[in-house]
A and B are shown apart, each in its own frame.
Chain A
Amino acid sequence: MGFFHRHRGLTPYLLLAPGLLWLGLFFLVPLGFLAYQSLQSGTIDFGYAFTWQWSNYWDAIRDYHGHFIRSFLYAGIATLIALVVSYPVAYWIAFRGGRWKNLLLLGIVAPFFVTYLIRTLAWETILADHGLVVNTLRDVHLLGILGENGRILATSTAVVAGITYNFLPFMALPLYVSLEQIDGRLIEAAEDLYSSKLQAFLRVTFPLSLPGVVAGTLLTFIPAAGDFINAQLLGSPKNHMIGNVIQSKFLELTDYPAAAAMSFVLMAIIVIMVLVYARIVGTEQLTG
C-alpha cells in the first residue's frame, strides 16, 4: 500500500528528520559557533579573528573563579535545602495523599504558573527591610547570622532563598514519582521482619527513592548553577554568579570571546559534576 509499505525502514527517519534538523541547526550548530567564538580575539569595533585564543579560558578562570565558586556553592546549598525541605512533603503526598494526590501535585507546581520574574519580585517584597521575615529573624536573634547590617535583601541568604524557591518543584516532582512507585508491601515486609519504622525507612524506602533523589538534584542544580535572575534581583553585586558575568559580557560589554569561553567552562564543570555524581550514586537513570 504505497510509499510507506515499500520503504518501511525509512519511516522512522522521516519522522525524526524535521525535529532533529531543528535541534541540530539551533542547538548543536550554535554550540559549535560558541566554541569558535570562544577562541577568537579582538573587539566588536575592530572585528574578531579566530586565533586559537586559549587565553580566553585561562583568563575566565583566573579573573572569575570567585563567581564560578559562588555559583556552584549557591546552587549546591539551594539543591540540598530543596531536597531536605521537599522530601517529607513528597513522601506525605505519595503515601498519605489518597485521592487528593493530583490536587496536591497541582499545588506543588502552582508557582510555575506565575511568571518566573514576577515570583522572584514577590520575594523582594517578602524579604524587604522591616518586612515580616526580617522582623521575625531579628526577634529570634538569627538576623545577625543570616543577614548583613540588619538586612536580608542584597545578601547571599536572599539569593539562595530565591533559587531554592524557584526550583523547588523540580525537586519535589521526581521525588514524588519515585516514592509513589514504591510497593507498600515491601515496607510492610520490613516491619513484619521486626525492623523499626526508622530502619524500614533508611533501608527500604529511601534506597528505593534514590532515582528520584538523583533526578531531582540534577534538575535543580543544573538550572540553579547557570541562574542570574535571583542574584540580580535579590542580591548585591557581591553575590553575583557566573551567569551575571556571562550575561553582561554578552549583552552589555559585547566581549563575546570571553563570555563564550565562560559559558563553556560553566558547561564543562556541570558535565563533569553530573558524570562524577552519576558514578557515585551509580544510577543509570539519567537519560530516562
Chain B
Amino acid sequence: MTTVVVPAKRPRPSALSATWAFVKRHILTVYSLLFFVYLLLPIAIVIAFSFNNPPGKFNYVWHGFTLKNWQHWDGVPDLRNAIFLSLKIALFASILATALGTAIALALVRYRFRGRASTNILVFLPLSTPEIVLGASLLTLFLNVTSFITFGFWTILIAHVMFCISFAVVTVKARLVGFDRHLEEAAMDLGANEVTTFTKVTLPLIAPAILAALLLCFAISIDDFVVTYFNAGNEQTFPLFVWGAARVGAPPQVNVIGSAIFVIALTIMLINVLVQMRREKRGLA
C-alpha cells in the first residue's frame, strides 16, 4: 500500500514575492562584495602608493608611477635596521611563545589538576586587557628594575613573548581538543614510553597547530606597536619607524615594506587555504 504524502498547503509564491526573494538573495551577495571592496580598498591604496613618485616628503597625492621606491627600499636612514630588529624579535618571540604556549595547552587539555580553572583565567586575561595597559604596566616594572635591565632588545622580546603566549595556547588548544587519545594509548600499549609516544605520535599530530601558532605569533609580533612603543627605549622596530616617520610625512618606502609584508603573508595563507580546499575536494570525491 502506498501512502501519498500530501504536501502541506503553502501559499504559492506570488510574482511579487518571487521577485523580492530574488532581489533579497542578490542584495546580500552584492552587499558582501561591496564590503570586501571597503575592506581591501586601504590595502590597494598602500600598494598603489608604494609606486608613487612624490616630489617632496608627502606621499598623500598621486604624482606618477615609478619603481625606484622598490629598487631603493632601504633608501631611508634607519629603515633597514628597524626591519631587521622587527624580524629578529618576531622570530625569537614566536618560537619562545609557541614552545611555552604549547606546553600550557598540553597540560590544560590532557590533565585534570588543581588550579586548572585559574590557569585558564590567567591565559585569558592578557587577551582581554587593552594593549596600552599591558605596555604601561611592563614599563613600570622595567623602570623599577633598571639596574638589572636596559630598555631595548631584551625588554621588547620579553614583552612580545608575554602577549604571544596566550594566542599560542588558544591556537594549539583548539586543535588538541579534537585529538584522538586512543592513538597515544595504542603506542603505549605497544611498549613506547611517554617520551617516544610524544615525539612519534603526539608531536606529528599537533604539528599543524604548532605551525599555525608560530605564524600567528610571528604576525602579531611584527605588527605590534603599542606595547613595543612603551618598552623599546631608543631601539626602533618597523612599526615604531612608521610612527616616527608619520609625524613628518612617511616616505613611500614605508608603503614598499608594508606591501611586501602583505604579499608574503597573503601568499603563505593562500597556499594554506588552497591546500585545504584541495584536500576537501578529494575527501568529497
Answer whether residue B76 sits at the interface, using C-beta atoms and an 8 A cutoff: no
Q: Assess whether A107 is in contact with B39, with CB atoms less than 8 Å apart.
A: yes
Answer whether residue A140 sits at the interface, using C-beta atoms and an 8 A cutoff: no
Identify B60's interface contact among A5, A114, A124, A243, CB under 8 A: A124
**Chain B's nearest CB lies how many Å from the CB of A224?**
9
**Chain B contact residues (Cβ within 8 angstroms of A): what range?**
35 or more
Interface string of B151-188 (1 = CB under 8 A from A): 00000001101100110011000000000000000000
Tell me the nearest residue of chain A to B281, going by C-beta.
Answer: A99
Q: Assess whether B266 is in contact with A267, with CB atoms less than 8 Å apart.
A: no
Tell me the nearest residue of chain B to A225, going by C-beta.
Answer: B130
Interface string of B208-223 (1 = CB under 8 A from A): 0000000000010011
Q: Assess whether A103 is in contact with B277, with CB atoms less than 8 Å apart.
A: yes
How many inter-chain residue pairs (CB < 8 Å) link A and B?
A: 236
Answer whether residue A19 sits at the interface, using C-beta atoms and an 8 A cutoff: yes
Tell me the nearest residue of chain B to A105, going by C-beta.
Answer: B273
Q: Assess whether A19 is in contact with B42, with CB atoms less than 8 Å apart.
A: no
A16-B104, A18-B100, A26-B141 are contacts. A222–B46 as well, Cβ < 8 Å? no
Answer whether residue A30 sits at the interface, using C-beta atoms and an 8 A cutoff: yes
**Chain B contacts for A226, CB-based, 8 A:** 130-133
Q: Assess whether B140 is in contact with A260, with CB atoms less than 8 Å apart.
A: yes
**Chain B contacts for A124, CB-based, 8 A:** 60
Answer whether residue B242 sits at the interface, using C-beta atoms and an 8 A cutoff: yes
**Chain A's nearest CB lies how many Å from the CB of B265?**
4
Answer whether residue A91 sits at the interface, using C-beta atoms and an 8 A cutoff: yes
Q: Assess whether A263 is in contact with B103, with CB atoms less than 8 Å apart.
A: no
Q: How far is the CA of A256 from the CA of B141 in the complex (A)?
A: 12
Query: Which residues A196-255 have CB closer than 8 A to chain B?
Result: 218, 222-223, 225-229, 233, 243, 246-247, 250-251
Q: Assess whether B273 is in contact with A251, with CB atoms less than 8 Å apart.
A: no
Q: Assess whether A12 is in contact with B140, with CB atoms less than 8 Å apart.
A: no
Tell me the nearest residue of chain A to B138, going by C-beta.
Answer: A30
Answer whether residue A1 sits at the interface, using C-beta atoms and an 8 A cutoff: yes
Residue from the set A16, A22, A102 with the largest chain B CB neighbour count within 10 Å: A16
**Chain A contacts for B195, CB-based, 8 A:** 4
Q: Assess whether A111 is in contact with B136, with CB atoms less than 8 Å apart.
A: no
- In order of increasing CB-CB distance, the 6 nearest A-B pairs are A226-B130, A19-B100, A30-B137, A122-B42, A12-B111, A15-B107
Seen from chain A, the residues whose Cβ lies within 8 Å of a Cβ on chain B are 1-2, 4-5, 9, 11-13, 15-16, 18-20, 22-24, 26-31, 33-34, 36-37, 85-86, 88-89, 91-93, 96, 99, 102-103, 106-119, 121-126, 128, 165, 168, 192, 218, 222-223, 225-229, 233, 243, 246-247, 250-251, 256, 259-260, 263, 266-267, 270, 274, 286-288
Give 7 new A-B contacts, CB below 8 A, not counting A89-B32, A228-B132: A4-B194, A13-B113, A27-B126, A30-B140, A103-B277, A243-B130, A247-B132
**Could you list some 10 contacts between A and B, CB below 8 A?**
A12-B113, A15-B107, A16-B104, A23-B165, A106-B266, A222-B130, A226-B132, A250-B139, A259-B136, A266-B133
